[in-house]
C-alpha cells in the first residue's frame, strides 16, 4: 500500500429480531500482497445461517490469501456448499469478495448479494459489471481502482429489505441507500462509523425489530495520520526533557493526558497551562489548553472512559451517537484515536503521582498501566498500528 494512504475497513451487523447469532459474517485478511475482504450471508437466520456464512467467508478469504485466484476459490466453495433443494436449489450462502492489491486496484466478485456501491468524491461511480458462469452459478465481476477517499460499500439483503411491512411498502431500495450514503459521506468519518450509520438507519426502518440479519461493510482509501499520546511524566524527573523532546519531534497530532504531564509539557514548550472548571459531561473532568499541544485532558478518569468507549466501538458501536457529537475530553480523545488516527504512538511516563496515593481514590501506577494496555489492545483490534514507549 502507498506510504501516504492505506485501505481502511469497517463492518457492523444487526441480528434478526429474536436471534442470538447473526446469519451474516465478514472476514478480512491483510498481508503484503494486499487485502482480501469477504462478506457472506447465510440462508435464513440463526445457528445454521451463522455457521454457513462463517464457513463461506473463512474458506474464501483463506484460499485467496493462500494464492488461489478468486475464480478458483469461488469454484471450490460453490462445489463444497450444499444447496437448499426445498427452496429451488438456491445456495446456502451468498457472498461478496473484494481483493485489493497494494496499488489499490481491486477485483470484486458478487454472488447474489445486493450490488456493491462505489463512492468517488462522495458520489456513486457506476462500476462495469460482467456476468461470469461458475459451476452453474452467475457471478457478477467488476474491477476498479481506489483513489484517495474513495469508498466501497457492501451490504447484505437485510439492508435493501429494511422497513418491509413496518415503515416502507417495498423496503429501502439500493437507489435510496446510495442517496443516503452520498448525503452523509465525509472523509472524516471512519469506515466503521459509516457502516454504523447505515446499519442503524436500517434498524430504525425496521422499528428496532429487524426482520432479517443486516450487515454493512465499508472499504475506503484514506490518508494516514499519526496521533502521539503522552500519559504521565517520566519515572526520573531528569528524563522529562528527553521524553518531551522525543514526543514533540514526531509528526502528527500531539495529545497529553494528565495534569502533571501537562505542566511538564508546557514547561518544555515555555507555555502556560490554561485550565477550565467547565464540566461538559459530569463524569469526565474538564480539558485544558496549552499552546503547541492539540488536546490536553485529565488522566486516569478520562482514559478509563475512553477504554469503555473503545470496547463499545469494537462491538455494537452505539456509543458513537454520543461521543461523536460531544466535546468533553474523553469524546475528543476518542475521535482522535478511533476516527482520525491510523497510527498511535504512546509515550508512557511511569512516575508515581502523589495525588493518586490517597486510598479514597483507589488509583495507583498499575491502574494507569492497565488502562494504557487495554486501550492499545483495543486500537490494535481496530486495525491501528501501535507503538508504546515507557519512560
C-alpha cell at 167: 415503515
pLDDT value for 85: 56
pLDDT value for 276: 84
pLDDT value for 80: 80
Displacement of CA 362 from its chain's centroid (Å): 33
Burial of 101 (0-12, 13-18, 19+ CB in 10 A): middle
**H/E run at residue 275:** strand 274-275
Q: Which of 51, 42, 11 is nearest to 24 (CA)?
A: 42
Overall residue count recorded for the chain in this entry: 391
Dist CA 337 CA 295 (whole Å): 12
Fold annotation for 5-222? Phosphatase 2c; domain 1 (3.60.40)
pLDDT value for 265: 97
pLDDT in tens, 171-205: 789 999 999 999 999 999 999 999 999 999 999 99
Q: In sequence order, what DSSP letters do the residues of 141-168 get, joined into one string?
A: EEEEEPPTT-EEEEE-HHHHTTTBTTTB
The answer for residues whose C-beta is within 8 angstroms of residue 131's C-beta and 6 or more apart is 138, 139, 140, 141
Query: Angle 240-249/259-269 helices, nearest 10 degrees?
Result: 80
Query: What predicted TM-score, i.e. pTM, was given to this entire model?
Result: 0.92
Displacement of CA 374 from its chain's centroid (Å): 17
Dist CA 272 CA 353 (whole Å): 21
Q: Where are the domains of the chain?
A: 5-222, 226-390
pLDDT < 70 positions in the chain: 1-2, 82-91, 165-169, 353-365
Q: What are the angstrom distances between the C-alpha of 271 and each of 87, 217, 289, 290? A: 72, 45, 10, 7
Amino acid at each position: 500500500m502507498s506510504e501516504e494512504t492505506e485501505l481502511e475497513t469497517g463492518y457492523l451487523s444487526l441480528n434478526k429480531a429474536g436471534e442470538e447469532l447473526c446469519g451474516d459474517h465478514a472476514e478480512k485478511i491483510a498481508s503484503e500482497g494486499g487485502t482480501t475482504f469477504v462478506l457472506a450471508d447465510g440462508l435464513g437466520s440463526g445457528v445454521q445461517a451463522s455457521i454457513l456464512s462463517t464457513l463461506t467467508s473463512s474458506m474464501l478469504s483463506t484460499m485467496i490469501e493462500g494464492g488461489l485466484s478468486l475464480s478458483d476459490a469461488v469454484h471450490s466453495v460453490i462445489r463444497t456448499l450444499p444447496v437448499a433443494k426445498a427452496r429451488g436449489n438456491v445456495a446456502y450462502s451468498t457472498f461478496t469478495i473484494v481483493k485489493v492489491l497494494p496499488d489499490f486496484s481491486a477485483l470484486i466478485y458478487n454472488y447474489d448479494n445486493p450490488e456493491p456501491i462505489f463512492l468517488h468524491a462522495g458520489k456513486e461511480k457506476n462500476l462495469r459489471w460482467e456476468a461470469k458462469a461458475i459451476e452453474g452459478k452467475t457471478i457478477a465481476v467488476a474491477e476498479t481502482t481506489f483513489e484517495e477517499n474513495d469508498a466501497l460499500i457492501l451490504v447484505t439483503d437485510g439492508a435493501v429489505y429494511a422497513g418491509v411491512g413496518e415503515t416502507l411498502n417495498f423496503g429501502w431500495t439500493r437507489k435510496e441507500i446510495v442517496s443516503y450514503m452520498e448525503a452523509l459521506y465525509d472523509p472524516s468519518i471512519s469506515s466503521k462509523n459509516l457502516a454504523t450509520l447505515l446499519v442503524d438507519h436500517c434498524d430504525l426502518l425496521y422499528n428496532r425489530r429487524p426482520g432479517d440479519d443486516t450487515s454493512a461493510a465499508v472499504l475506503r482509501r484514506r490518508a494516514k495520520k499519526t496521533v502521539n499520546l503522552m500519559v504521565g511524566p517520566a519515572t526520573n524527573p531528569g528524563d522529562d526533557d528527553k521524553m518531551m523532546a522525543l514526543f514533540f519531534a514526531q509528526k502528527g497530532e500531539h495529545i497529553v493526558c494528565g495534569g502533571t504531564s501537562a505542566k511538564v509539557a508546557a514547561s518544555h514548550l515555555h507555555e502556560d497551562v490554561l485550565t477550565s472548571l467547565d464540566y461538559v459531561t459530569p463524569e469526565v473532568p474538564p480539558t485544558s489548553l496549552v499552546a503547541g499541544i492539540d488536546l490536553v485532558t485529565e488522566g486516569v478518569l478520562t482514559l478509563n472512559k475512553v477504554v469503555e468507549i473503545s470496547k463499545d466501538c469494537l462491538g455494537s458501536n452505539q456509543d458513537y451517537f454520543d461521543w461523536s457529537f460531544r466535546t468533553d475530553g474523553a469524546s475528543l480523545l476518542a475521535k482522535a484515536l478511533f476516527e482520525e488516527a491510523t497510527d498511535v504512538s504512546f509515550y508512557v511516563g511511569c512516575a508515581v503521582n502523589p495525588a493518586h496515593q490517597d486510598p479514597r481514590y483507589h488509583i495507583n501506577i498499575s491502574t494507569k498501566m492497565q488502562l494504557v494496555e487495554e486501550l492499545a489492545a483495543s486500537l490494535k483490534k481496530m486495525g491501528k498500528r501501535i507503538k508504546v514507549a515507557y519512560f
